[in-house]
Amino acid sequence: MLTAHHPPLLEVAWSIEGMSVAEERKTILDRFFYRDRDIHAIGKACKIPWFDRFDDKFARDRYAYFASEEKTEAIEKIAAASISDQEFVNVLNLMRQKGSLVFYDGIDRFVGEHYFFDSEEGFRAENRQNTVRDDVKSALEELKERGYNFLQAVIDLYERGKWDRAYGGATWADILARVRGLGGGYPSPRDLAILKSYKLYYKTGSRRYPTHTIPEEIIEVAESALKEWKLKHQGA
């Protein structure tokens, strides 16, 4: 896990809703393609003319990088590119074959409505969110109310805007406070290990500023599965 300067925590609430194609593309690029040279290569492979202006820069300097605002615009250009989903994942898989993937925040999977990735299959233009629903149900079979309280606490903090937009995730103190608010107790190391084994929970952030995350692309379907479980077990 990398140590970095800690940016301000965003405190503005937003609603939980499914990601668009562009939002999923941005999340994938942020999660797996950290190096600016790789972003430039992806933009070129997507045949986006905007990236041509940086050809000389990246050709002559192996340490070349985008300015902050350029990096933001580069990712937005790729996310909005008028290429098909299959063309997009073909480019990503080519970059993967070249060793470009970096699991910077520790999250090694993506399960969106439009795209899927894991280390065995690579990138796919597929919706596999039903597997997330199954994973939530299986985790709660083992953890019962303890698992529900933890996952719901993280989702509640996401919805309330208590979410680190640079690293992803919420602080441990905020999670514990919300778990108590839901009537739960202190999560055990076993609880976290089980949730991590289902790839529903990740410890993210930096050594100095750790955060705890449910990947954003699965939050909507995970919350739906939690609601189904709660209704089924209410009063049980």
> Which CATH number is 148's domain given?
1.10.10
Verify that 110 and 134 share a domain, yes or no. Answer: no
The answer to whether residues 217 and 190 belong to one domain is yes
Residue ending a domain, among 92, 109, 127, is: 127
Report CA dihedral (35, 37, 40, 42) to the nearest 10 degrees.
-70
Domain-located, residue 14: no
Using the predicted structure, report yes or no on whether residue 52 has a pLDDT greater than 50.
yes
73 within some domain: yes
Residues 172 and 74 in one domain: no
pTM for this model (two decimals): 0.87
The answer to whether residues 109 and 188 belong to one domain is no
Taken in order 112, 113, 119, 123, the sign of the CA dihedral is negative
**Of 89, 104, 127, which marks where a domain is finished?**
127
- pLDDT at residue 6, as a whole number: 37
Greater model confidence, 6 or 215: 215
pLDDT of residue 214: 96
If asked whether residues 117 and 166 sit together in one domain, one would say no
pLDDT at 145: 96
Number of independent structural domains in the chain: 2
14-28, 68-82, 202-216: the lowest-pLDDT one: 14-28
Q: 194 with 116, same domain?
A: no
In this structure, the answer to whether residues 166 and 122 fall within a common structural domain is: no
Phi, psi of 160 (to 5 degrees): -85, -5
Residue 9 has pLDDT above 60, yes or no: no
Residues in the chain: 236
88 shares a domain with 49: yes
- Inside any domain, residue 78: yes
Task: Please report the pLDDT score of residue 203 as a whole number.
Answer: 93
**Confidence (pLDDT) at 94:** 96
Q: Is residue 4 part of a domain?
A: no
Do 60 and 151 lie in a common domain? Answer: no
Structure confidence by residue, pLDDT tens digits, 118-136: 999 999 999 999 999 999 9
Residue range of the domain that includes 161: 130-233
Query: Do residues 97 and 179 share a domain?
Result: no
Mean pLDDT over residues 101-116, rounded? 88
Check whether residue 31 and residue 116 sit in a common domain. Answer: yes
In a domain, 191, yes or no: yes
139 belongs to a structural domain: yes
108-to-19, 79, 87, 116 alpha-carbon distances in Å: 19, 20, 22, 11
Q: What is the mean pLDDT of residues 65-86?
A: 96
Last residue of a domain, one of 127, 146, 164: 127
Does 186 share its domain with 172? yes
Averaged pLDDT for residues 60-81: 96
The confidence band for 205, taking pLDDT boundaries of 50, 70 and 90, is confident
Positive or negative CA dihedral for 134, 138, 140, 144? Answer: positive
- Per-residue pLDDT for 16 more than 90? no
| pLDDT tens string 158-179 | 999 999 877 789 999 999 999 9
3 falls within a domain:
no
Confidence at residue 168, expressed as pLDDT on a 0 to 100 scale: 83
Please compute the mean of the pLDDT values over residues 33-48 and round it to a whole number. Answer: 96
